Structure 1
Amino acid sequence: MNANYRIPGGWSLFWLIGALILAMSALILALNPDTTEAVRSVIRATARSSFALFLLAFVASSLATLVPNDLTRGLMRERRYIGLSFAFSHFVHLLAIIAYGVLNPQFWPGRSALTNAPGTLGYVFIALLALTSFRFASRHMTAAAWKRLHTAGIWVIAAIFGYSFFKRIPSMSVLYAIPFSILCAAVAVRLVGKWAQANKRRQARTRSLDRSSSFPNQLEPVS
Protein backbone atom coordinates (compact mmCIF):
# COMPACT_ATOMS: atom_id res chain seq x y z
CA MET A 1 0.00 0.00 0.00
CA ASN A 2 0.99 3.61 -0.49
CA ALA A 3 2.63 4.98 2.67
CA ASN A 4 0.04 7.78 2.81
CA TYR A 5 -2.72 5.20 3.25
CA ARG A 6 -0.92 2.72 5.50
CA ILE A 7 -3.08 1.51 8.37
CA PRO A 8 -2.78 -1.43 10.78
CA GLY A 9 -4.20 -4.59 9.30
CA GLY A 10 -5.81 -7.80 10.47
CA TRP A 11 -6.30 -8.31 14.18
CA SER A 12 -4.10 -5.30 14.93
CA LEU A 13 -6.74 -3.13 13.25
CA PHE A 14 -9.52 -4.82 15.22
CA TRP A 15 -7.76 -4.34 18.56
CA LEU A 16 -6.94 -0.72 17.72
CA ILE A 17 -10.55 0.11 16.88
CA GLY A 18 -11.77 -1.81 19.93
CA ALA A 19 -9.38 0.08 22.20
CA LEU A 20 -10.51 3.41 20.76
CA ILE A 21 -14.17 2.53 21.34
CA LEU A 22 -13.48 1.53 24.94
CA ALA A 23 -11.36 4.64 25.53
CA MET A 24 -14.10 6.85 24.07
CA SER A 25 -16.71 5.22 26.32
CA ALA A 26 -14.51 5.48 29.41
CA LEU A 27 -13.78 9.14 28.71
CA ILE A 28 -17.48 9.95 28.35
CA LEU A 29 -18.22 8.21 31.66
CA ALA A 30 -15.35 9.97 33.41
CA LEU A 31 -16.21 13.48 32.21
CA ASN A 32 -19.94 13.39 32.93
CA PRO A 33 -20.82 13.73 36.65
CA ASP A 34 -24.33 12.32 36.08
CA THR A 35 -23.87 8.57 35.61
CA THR A 36 -27.25 8.04 33.98
CA GLU A 37 -26.67 10.79 31.43
CA ALA A 38 -23.11 9.59 30.90
CA VAL A 39 -24.34 6.11 30.00
CA ARG A 40 -26.93 7.67 27.71
CA SER A 41 -24.11 9.57 25.98
CA VAL A 42 -22.18 6.32 25.56
CA ILE A 43 -25.25 4.84 23.87
CA ARG A 44 -25.32 7.70 21.39
CA ALA A 45 -21.54 7.65 20.82
CA THR A 46 -21.36 3.89 20.19
CA ALA A 47 -24.38 4.12 17.89
CA ARG A 48 -22.37 6.56 15.77
CA SER A 49 -19.17 4.51 15.85
CA SER A 50 -21.16 1.40 14.90
CA PHE A 51 -22.81 3.21 12.00
CA ALA A 52 -19.47 4.48 10.68
CA LEU A 53 -17.87 1.02 10.86
CA PHE A 54 -20.92 -0.59 9.28
CA LEU A 55 -20.78 1.86 6.36
CA LEU A 56 -17.12 1.02 5.72
CA ALA A 57 -17.87 -2.71 5.60
CA PHE A 58 -21.05 -2.13 3.60
CA VAL A 59 -19.40 -0.26 0.71
CA ALA A 60 -15.89 -1.79 0.80
CA SER A 61 -16.22 -4.16 -2.18
CA SER A 62 -18.15 -1.63 -4.27
CA LEU A 63 -15.61 1.13 -3.68
CA ALA A 64 -12.78 -1.24 -4.61
CA THR A 65 -14.57 -1.88 -7.91
CA LEU A 66 -15.67 1.68 -8.69
CA VAL A 67 -12.60 3.56 -7.41
CA PRO A 68 -9.71 1.07 -7.44
CA ASN A 69 -6.72 2.46 -5.54
CA ASP A 70 -4.53 1.54 -2.58
CA LEU A 71 -7.01 2.94 -0.06
CA THR A 72 -10.11 1.14 -1.38
CA ARG A 73 -8.21 -2.10 -1.94
CA GLY A 74 -6.91 -1.87 1.63
CA LEU A 75 -10.44 -1.24 2.87
CA MET A 76 -11.63 -4.32 0.97
CA ARG A 77 -8.78 -6.41 2.35
CA GLU A 78 -9.64 -5.42 5.94
CA ARG A 79 -13.41 -5.71 5.53
CA ARG A 80 -13.65 -8.74 7.80
CA TYR A 81 -11.91 -6.97 10.69
CA ILE A 82 -13.91 -3.79 10.14
CA GLY A 83 -17.08 -5.88 10.28
CA LEU A 84 -15.94 -7.54 13.51
CA SER A 85 -15.09 -4.09 14.91
CA PHE A 86 -18.64 -3.01 14.07
CA ALA A 87 -19.96 -6.04 15.99
CA PHE A 88 -17.76 -5.14 18.97
CA SER A 89 -18.90 -1.50 18.90
CA HIS A 90 -22.52 -2.58 18.87
CA PHE A 91 -21.87 -5.03 21.71
CA VAL A 92 -20.58 -2.09 23.81
CA HIS A 93 -23.70 -0.21 22.66
CA LEU A 94 -25.85 -3.08 23.97
CA LEU A 95 -24.04 -3.11 27.32
CA ALA A 96 -24.66 0.63 27.62
CA ILE A 97 -28.37 0.14 26.89
CA ILE A 98 -28.60 -2.57 29.57
CA ALA A 99 -26.79 -0.31 32.05
CA TYR A 100 -29.11 2.57 31.22
CA GLY A 101 -32.09 0.31 31.86
CA VAL A 102 -30.71 -0.50 35.30
CA LEU A 103 -30.04 3.15 36.14
CA ASN A 104 -33.38 4.33 34.74
CA PRO A 105 -36.11 1.87 35.85
CA GLN A 106 -38.68 3.63 33.62
CA PHE A 107 -36.75 2.76 30.46
CA TRP A 108 -37.77 -0.87 29.79
CA PRO A 109 -41.44 -0.56 30.91
CA GLY A 110 -41.79 2.27 28.42
CA ARG A 111 -40.80 0.01 25.53
CA SER A 112 -42.98 -2.68 23.93
CA ALA A 113 -41.96 -5.92 22.25
CA LEU A 114 -42.78 -4.29 18.91
CA THR A 115 -40.50 -1.35 19.70
CA ASN A 116 -37.67 -3.71 20.58
CA ALA A 117 -38.20 -6.04 17.58
CA PRO A 118 -35.96 -4.22 15.02
CA GLY A 119 -33.07 -3.95 17.46
CA THR A 120 -33.43 -7.58 18.53
CA LEU A 121 -33.46 -8.73 14.91
CA GLY A 122 -30.41 -6.60 14.20
CA TYR A 123 -28.46 -8.13 17.06
CA VAL A 124 -29.39 -11.65 15.93
CA PHE A 125 -27.94 -10.95 12.49
CA ILE A 126 -24.88 -9.18 13.91
CA ALA A 127 -24.16 -12.23 16.07
CA LEU A 128 -24.64 -14.61 13.13
CA LEU A 129 -22.41 -12.56 10.82
CA ALA A 130 -19.71 -12.24 13.48
CA LEU A 131 -19.72 -15.96 14.33
CA THR A 132 -19.63 -17.05 10.70
CA SER A 133 -16.67 -14.76 10.10
CA PHE A 134 -14.64 -17.43 11.92
CA ARG A 135 -13.60 -20.72 10.38
CA PHE A 136 -14.97 -22.86 13.25
CA ALA A 137 -18.51 -21.73 12.33
CA SER A 138 -18.27 -21.13 8.58
CA ARG A 139 -16.85 -24.60 7.89
CA HIS A 140 -20.28 -26.06 8.69
CA MET A 141 -21.86 -24.00 5.88
CA THR A 142 -21.66 -24.23 2.12
CA ALA A 143 -20.18 -21.25 0.31
CA ALA A 144 -23.61 -20.45 -1.16
CA ALA A 145 -25.31 -20.55 2.26
CA TRP A 146 -22.58 -18.37 3.76
CA LYS A 147 -22.98 -15.80 0.97
CA ARG A 148 -26.79 -15.77 1.31
CA LEU A 149 -26.55 -15.25 5.08
CA HIS A 150 -24.04 -12.40 4.83
CA THR A 151 -25.88 -10.71 1.97
CA ALA A 152 -29.23 -10.92 3.76
CA GLY A 153 -27.70 -9.92 7.09
CA ILE A 154 -25.96 -6.81 5.86
CA TRP A 155 -29.11 -5.62 4.09
CA VAL A 156 -31.27 -6.27 7.17
CA ILE A 157 -28.84 -4.28 9.33
CA ALA A 158 -28.81 -1.47 6.76
CA ALA A 159 -32.63 -1.41 6.76
CA ILE A 160 -32.72 -1.26 10.57
CA PHE A 161 -30.28 1.65 10.62
CA GLY A 162 -32.39 3.40 7.98
CA TYR A 163 -35.62 2.82 9.89
CA SER A 164 -34.01 3.99 13.13
CA PHE A 165 -32.87 7.26 11.56
CA PHE A 166 -36.01 7.89 9.51
CA LYS A 167 -38.47 7.48 12.40
CA ARG A 168 -36.53 10.03 14.46
CA ILE A 169 -36.62 12.80 11.85
CA PRO A 170 -40.16 14.06 12.63
CA SER A 171 -40.21 13.13 16.32
CA MET A 172 -36.73 14.08 17.57
CA SER A 173 -34.62 16.13 15.16
CA VAL A 174 -34.34 16.89 11.47
CA LEU A 175 -30.59 16.30 11.90
CA TYR A 176 -31.32 12.57 11.69
CA ALA A 177 -31.90 13.22 7.99
CA ILE A 178 -28.11 13.51 7.66
CA PRO A 179 -27.21 9.91 8.61
CA PHE A 180 -30.31 8.71 6.75
CA SER A 181 -29.10 10.48 3.59
CA ILE A 182 -25.58 9.09 4.08
CA LEU A 183 -27.02 5.59 4.33
CA CYS A 184 -29.07 6.12 1.16
CA ALA A 185 -25.90 7.23 -0.63
CA ALA A 186 -24.08 4.13 0.64
CA VAL A 187 -26.91 1.94 -0.65
CA ALA A 188 -26.58 3.58 -4.06
CA VAL A 189 -22.80 3.04 -4.05
CA ARG A 190 -23.23 -0.62 -3.12
CA LEU A 191 -25.86 -1.24 -5.80
CA VAL A 192 -23.84 0.47 -8.52
CA GLY A 193 -20.73 -1.39 -7.40
CA LYS A 194 -22.50 -4.75 -7.51
CA TRP A 195 -23.81 -3.93 -10.97
CA ALA A 196 -20.28 -3.04 -12.09
CA GLN A 197 -18.92 -6.29 -10.66
CA ALA A 198 -21.59 -8.33 -12.45
CA ASN A 199 -20.91 -6.43 -15.68
CA LYS A 200 -17.17 -7.16 -15.43
CA ARG A 201 -17.90 -10.86 -14.92
CA ARG A 202 -20.17 -10.90 -17.98
CA GLN A 203 -17.52 -9.18 -20.07
CA ALA A 204 -14.87 -11.63 -18.86
CA ARG A 205 -17.09 -14.60 -19.80
CA THR A 206 -17.79 -13.07 -23.21
CA ARG A 207 -14.07 -12.54 -23.88
CA SER A 208 -13.36 -16.11 -22.78
CA LEU A 209 -16.01 -17.47 -25.15
CA ASP A 210 -14.71 -15.30 -27.98
CA ARG A 211 -11.18 -16.60 -27.48
CA SER A 212 -12.41 -20.17 -27.38
CA SER A 213 -14.39 -19.79 -30.61
CA SER A 214 -11.39 -18.22 -32.38
CA PHE A 215 -9.37 -21.47 -32.20
CA PRO A 216 -10.26 -24.49 -34.38
CA ASN A 217 -11.27 -27.68 -32.65
CA GLN A 218 -8.07 -29.69 -32.47
CA LEU A 219 -10.02 -32.93 -32.41
CA GLU A 220 -11.88 -32.12 -35.62
CA PRO A 221 -10.56 -34.33 -38.46
CA VAL A 222 -8.90 -32.53 -41.33
CA SER A 223 -10.40 -33.44 -44.71
Structure 2
Amino acid sequence: MNTRTNHLGGWRLFSLLAVSILAMAALILAFAPDSVEGTRSVIRATARTSFALFFTAFTASAFAVLVPSPFSRSLLRERRIIGLSFAFSHFVHAIAIFAYGQLAPEFWPNRTALGNLPGSIGYAFILLLTLTSFKGPARLLGAKAWKRLHVTGMWVIAAIFTYSYFKRIPTNLLYAIPFGIVVAAVAVRLVGKLALAARRNQRAPANPDERKALVS
Protein backbone atom coordinates (compact mmCIF):
# COMPACT_ATOMS: atom_id res chain seq x y z
CA MET A 1 0.00 0.00 0.00
CA ASN A 2 1.25 3.51 -0.86
CA THR A 3 1.36 5.34 2.45
CA ARG A 4 1.81 8.62 0.65
CA THR A 5 -1.89 8.72 -0.17
CA ASN A 6 -2.59 9.03 3.57
CA HIS A 7 -0.66 12.30 3.77
CA LEU A 8 -1.28 15.76 2.42
CA GLY A 9 0.95 15.69 -0.62
CA GLY A 10 0.96 15.60 -4.40
CA TRP A 11 -2.02 17.18 -6.11
CA ARG A 12 -3.87 17.38 -2.79
CA LEU A 13 -1.21 19.77 -1.57
CA PHE A 14 -1.35 21.73 -4.83
CA SER A 15 -5.13 22.01 -4.58
CA LEU A 16 -4.93 23.23 -1.00
CA LEU A 17 -2.32 25.86 -1.85
CA ALA A 18 -4.14 27.00 -5.00
CA VAL A 19 -7.49 27.31 -3.23
CA SER A 20 -5.81 29.20 -0.37
CA ILE A 21 -4.24 31.67 -2.80
CA LEU A 22 -7.54 32.23 -4.60
CA ALA A 23 -9.41 32.60 -1.30
CA MET A 24 -6.83 35.13 -0.11
CA ALA A 25 -7.22 37.17 -3.30
CA ALA A 26 -11.02 37.05 -3.07
CA LEU A 27 -11.01 38.20 0.57
CA ILE A 28 -8.64 41.07 -0.21
CA LEU A 29 -10.87 42.26 -3.05
CA ALA A 30 -14.02 41.84 -0.95
CA PHE A 31 -12.73 44.00 1.92
CA ALA A 32 -10.83 46.60 -0.13
CA PRO A 33 -12.24 50.15 -0.21
CA ASP A 34 -12.23 50.08 -4.04
CA SER A 35 -11.23 47.76 -6.88
CA VAL A 36 -8.03 49.66 -7.72
CA GLU A 37 -6.66 49.46 -4.19
CA GLY A 38 -7.89 45.89 -3.85
CA THR A 39 -6.09 44.82 -7.01
CA ARG A 40 -2.89 46.51 -5.85
CA SER A 41 -3.17 44.61 -2.56
CA VAL A 42 -3.64 41.32 -4.43
CA ILE A 43 -0.48 42.08 -6.43
CA ARG A 44 1.49 42.60 -3.21
CA ALA A 45 -0.03 39.56 -1.47
CA THR A 46 0.60 37.15 -4.37
CA ALA A 47 4.16 38.47 -4.66
CA ARG A 48 4.64 37.34 -1.05
CA THR A 49 3.06 33.91 -1.54
CA SER A 50 5.16 33.41 -4.67
CA PHE A 51 8.27 34.43 -2.74
CA ALA A 52 7.54 31.96 0.07
CA LEU A 53 6.70 29.06 -2.26
CA PHE A 54 9.66 29.63 -4.57
CA PHE A 55 12.26 29.76 -1.82
CA THR A 56 10.74 26.71 -0.13
CA ALA A 57 11.30 24.80 -3.37
CA PHE A 58 14.68 26.50 -3.91
CA THR A 59 16.10 25.38 -0.54
CA ALA A 60 14.32 22.02 -0.17
CA SER A 61 17.24 19.88 -1.34
CA ALA A 62 19.72 21.81 0.82
CA PHE A 63 17.65 21.43 3.97
CA ALA A 64 17.26 17.70 3.27
CA VAL A 65 21.06 17.44 3.33
CA LEU A 66 21.83 19.89 6.14
CA VAL A 67 18.89 19.13 8.45
CA PRO A 68 17.74 15.59 7.65
CA SER A 69 14.33 14.96 9.17
CA PRO A 70 10.91 13.67 8.10
CA PHE A 71 9.83 17.29 7.48
CA SER A 72 12.82 18.23 5.31
CA ARG A 73 12.48 14.97 3.39
CA SER A 74 8.79 15.68 2.80
CA LEU A 75 9.68 19.15 1.48
CA LEU A 76 12.14 17.55 -0.93
CA ARG A 77 9.58 14.96 -1.99
CA GLU A 78 6.98 17.66 -2.65
CA ARG A 79 9.39 20.11 -4.29
CA ARG A 80 7.78 19.68 -7.71
CA ILE A 81 4.30 20.39 -6.32
CA ILE A 82 5.57 23.38 -4.36
CA GLY A 83 7.21 24.66 -7.54
CA LEU A 84 3.96 24.26 -9.47
CA SER A 85 2.13 26.06 -6.66
CA PHE A 86 4.63 28.90 -7.00
CA ALA A 87 3.86 29.04 -10.72
CA PHE A 88 0.12 29.16 -9.96
CA SER A 89 0.64 31.95 -7.41
CA HIS A 90 2.64 33.97 -9.92
CA PHE A 91 -0.02 33.33 -12.58
CA VAL A 92 -2.58 34.92 -10.24
CA HIS A 93 -0.04 37.70 -9.66
CA ALA A 94 0.16 38.29 -13.43
CA ILE A 95 -3.64 38.39 -13.73
CA ALA A 96 -3.76 40.97 -10.93
CA ILE A 97 -1.11 43.10 -12.71
CA PHE A 98 -3.09 42.93 -15.96
CA ALA A 99 -6.31 43.85 -14.14
CA TYR A 100 -4.58 46.76 -12.42
CA GLY A 101 -3.36 47.99 -15.80
CA GLN A 102 -6.97 48.03 -17.00
CA LEU A 103 -8.24 49.81 -13.87
CA ALA A 104 -5.39 52.33 -13.78
CA PRO A 105 -4.58 53.23 -17.41
CA GLU A 106 -1.57 55.30 -16.38
CA PHE A 107 0.20 52.17 -15.08
CA TRP A 108 1.65 50.76 -18.31
CA PRO A 109 2.70 54.07 -19.94
CA ASN A 110 4.77 54.84 -16.83
CA ARG A 111 6.74 51.62 -17.21
CA THR A 112 9.72 51.16 -19.54
CA ALA A 113 10.78 48.16 -21.58
CA LEU A 114 13.93 47.93 -19.46
CA GLY A 115 11.87 48.00 -16.28
CA ASN A 116 9.68 45.18 -17.58
CA LEU A 117 12.64 43.05 -18.74
CA PRO A 118 13.41 41.17 -15.47
CA GLY A 119 9.76 40.25 -14.98
CA SER A 120 9.42 39.13 -18.60
CA ILE A 121 12.50 36.91 -18.31
CA GLY A 122 11.19 35.53 -15.03
CA TYR A 123 7.81 34.62 -16.49
CA ALA A 124 9.47 33.01 -19.52
CA PHE A 125 11.46 30.73 -17.22
CA ILE A 126 8.43 30.03 -15.02
CA LEU A 127 6.52 28.90 -18.12
CA LEU A 128 9.38 26.67 -19.27
CA LEU A 129 9.88 25.14 -15.82
CA THR A 130 6.15 24.53 -15.44
CA LEU A 131 5.77 22.83 -18.83
CA THR A 132 8.81 20.62 -18.26
CA SER A 133 7.63 19.60 -14.77
CA PHE A 134 5.39 17.02 -16.44
CA LYS A 135 6.62 13.65 -17.68
CA GLY A 136 5.92 14.08 -21.40
CA PRO A 137 7.82 17.34 -22.01
CA ALA A 138 10.55 16.28 -19.56
CA ARG A 139 11.07 13.04 -21.49
CA LEU A 140 11.27 14.92 -24.79
CA LEU A 141 13.80 17.35 -23.35
CA GLY A 142 16.10 14.65 -21.97
CA ALA A 143 17.57 14.29 -18.49
CA LYS A 144 20.68 16.45 -18.98
CA ALA A 145 18.87 19.30 -20.72
CA TRP A 146 16.06 19.11 -18.15
CA LYS A 147 18.48 19.45 -15.26
CA ARG A 148 20.36 22.28 -16.96
CA LEU A 149 17.12 24.16 -17.64
CA HIS A 150 15.74 23.74 -14.13
CA VAL A 151 18.98 24.65 -12.35
CA THR A 152 19.43 27.71 -14.59
CA GLY A 153 15.79 28.71 -14.23
CA MET A 154 15.84 28.46 -10.44
CA TRP A 155 18.93 30.65 -10.20
CA VAL A 156 17.57 33.20 -12.69
CA ILE A 157 14.31 33.51 -10.75
CA ALA A 158 16.24 33.79 -7.48
CA ALA A 159 18.36 36.57 -9.02
CA ILE A 160 15.22 38.41 -10.15
CA PHE A 161 13.75 38.24 -6.64
CA THR A 162 17.08 39.50 -5.27
CA TYR A 163 17.19 42.43 -7.68
CA SER A 164 13.53 43.25 -7.15
CA TYR A 165 13.92 43.61 -3.38
CA PHE A 166 17.37 45.20 -3.45
CA LYS A 167 16.34 48.08 -5.73
CA ARG A 168 13.47 48.97 -3.37
CA ILE A 169 15.59 49.23 -0.21
CA PRO A 170 16.55 52.92 -0.75
CA THR A 171 12.85 53.92 -0.78
CA ASN A 172 11.66 51.49 1.90
CA LEU A 173 14.05 49.89 4.37
CA LEU A 174 11.53 47.12 5.12
CA TYR A 175 12.54 45.54 1.81
CA ALA A 176 15.86 44.71 3.46
CA ILE A 177 14.02 41.90 5.28
CA PRO A 178 13.02 39.88 2.17
CA PHE A 179 16.37 40.76 0.61
CA GLY A 180 18.12 39.27 3.64
CA ILE A 181 15.92 36.16 3.39
CA VAL A 182 16.91 35.77 -0.27
CA VAL A 183 20.62 36.06 0.57
CA ALA A 184 20.21 33.52 3.37
CA ALA A 185 18.35 31.12 1.05
CA VAL A 186 21.12 31.37 -1.54
CA ALA A 187 23.71 30.70 1.17
CA VAL A 188 21.73 27.69 2.43
CA ARG A 189 21.51 26.24 -1.07
CA LEU A 190 25.24 26.72 -1.72
CA VAL A 191 26.23 25.23 1.65
CA GLY A 192 23.88 22.31 1.04
CA LYS A 193 25.51 21.70 -2.34
CA LEU A 194 28.97 21.75 -0.79
CA ALA A 195 27.87 19.41 1.99
CA LEU A 196 26.40 16.96 -0.51
CA ALA A 197 29.59 17.04 -2.60
CA ALA A 198 31.70 16.41 0.51
CA ARG A 199 29.48 13.51 1.53
CA ARG A 200 29.80 11.95 -1.93
CA ASN A 201 33.59 12.36 -1.84
CA GLN A 202 33.74 10.60 1.53
CA ARG A 203 31.79 7.68 0.15
CA ALA A 204 33.90 7.51 -3.03
CA PRO A 205 36.71 4.92 -3.26
CA ALA A 206 40.13 6.20 -2.23
CA ASN A 207 41.92 5.33 -5.49
CA PRO A 208 41.08 4.92 -9.19
CA ASP A 209 41.38 1.11 -9.08
CA GLU A 210 38.63 0.92 -6.43
CA ARG A 211 36.44 3.25 -8.50
CA LYS A 212 36.93 1.04 -11.57
CA ALA A 213 35.99 -1.99 -9.51
CA LEU A 214 32.74 -0.39 -8.47
CA VAL A 215 31.92 0.66 -12.03
CA SER A 216 32.57 -2.82 -13.35
- Once residues 71 and 184 of structure 1 are traced to their aligned partners in structure 2, the CA distance between those partners, rounded to angstroms, is 23
Assess, with a 3 A threshold, how the Cα gap between structure 1 residues 93 and 213 changes in structure 2: closer, same or farther: closer
Larger radius of gyration: 1
Q: RMSD of aligned C-alpha atoms?
A: 1.7
Answer yes or no: is 1:205 the counterpart of 2:204. yes
Secondary structure of the residue that 1:139 maps to in structure 2? Answer: helix
Secondary structure of the residue that 1:140 maps to in structure 2? Answer: helix
Structure 2 match to 1:111: 111
- TM-score normalised by the chain length of structure 1: 0.89
5+ residue gaps, structure 1, are 1-5, 215-223
Amino acid at match of 2:197: A
Q: Is the Cα–Cα contact under 8 Å of residues 17 and 85 in structure 2 kept in the other structure?
A: yes
Amino acid at match of 1:196: A
Q: Is the Cα–Cα contact under 8 Å of residues 80 and 133 in structure 2 kept in the other structure?
A: yes
- TM-score normalised by the chain length of structure 2: 0.92
Assess, with a 3 A threshold, how the Cα gap between structure 1 residues 213 and 57 changes in structure 2: closer, same or farther: closer
Assess, with a 3 A threshold, how the Cα gap between structure 1 residues 212 and 148 changes in structure 2: closer, same or farther: closer
Structure 2 match to 1:122: 122
Shift of 1:206: 2.4
Structure 1 match to 2:93: 93
- Once residues 93 and 27 of structure 1 are traced to their aligned partners in structure 2, the CA distance between those partners, rounded to angstroms, is 15
Structure 1 residues 87-138: Cα deviation after superposition (integer angstroms, max 9, x where no partner):
0000000000000000000000000100000000000000000110001211
Task: Give % identity.
Answer: 62
Q: Is the Cα–Cα contact under 8 Å of residues 205 and 211 in structure 2 kept in the other structure?
A: no
- Once residues 204 and 59 of structure 1 are traced to their aligned partners in structure 2, the CA distance between those partners, rounded to angstroms, is 24
Assess, with a 3 A threshold, how the Cα gap between structure 1 residues 35 and 66 changes in structure 2: closer, same or farther: same
Structure 1 match to 2:3: none
Amino acid at match of 2:155: W
Answer yes or no: is 1:23 the counterpart of 2:10. no
Amino acid at match of 1:193: G
Assess, with a 3 A threshold, how the Cα gap between structure 1 residues 110 and 33 changes in structure 2: closer, same or farther: same
- Once residues 75 and 138 of structure 1 are traced to their aligned partners in structure 2, the CA distance between those partners, rounded to angstroms, is 21
Secondary structure of the residue that 1:168 maps to in structure 2? Answer: coil
Amino acid at match of 2:89: S
Amino acid at match of 2:189: R
- Once residues 36 and 136 of structure 1 are traced to their aligned partners in structure 2, the CA distance between those partners, rounded to angstroms, is 41
Shift of 1:33: 2.6
Secondary structure of the residue that 1:71 maps to in structure 2? Answer: helix
1:166-185 pair list within 5 angstroms = 166-171=166-171, 173-185=172-184
Answer yes or no: is 1:11 the counterpart of 2:11. yes
Aligned residue pairs total: 208
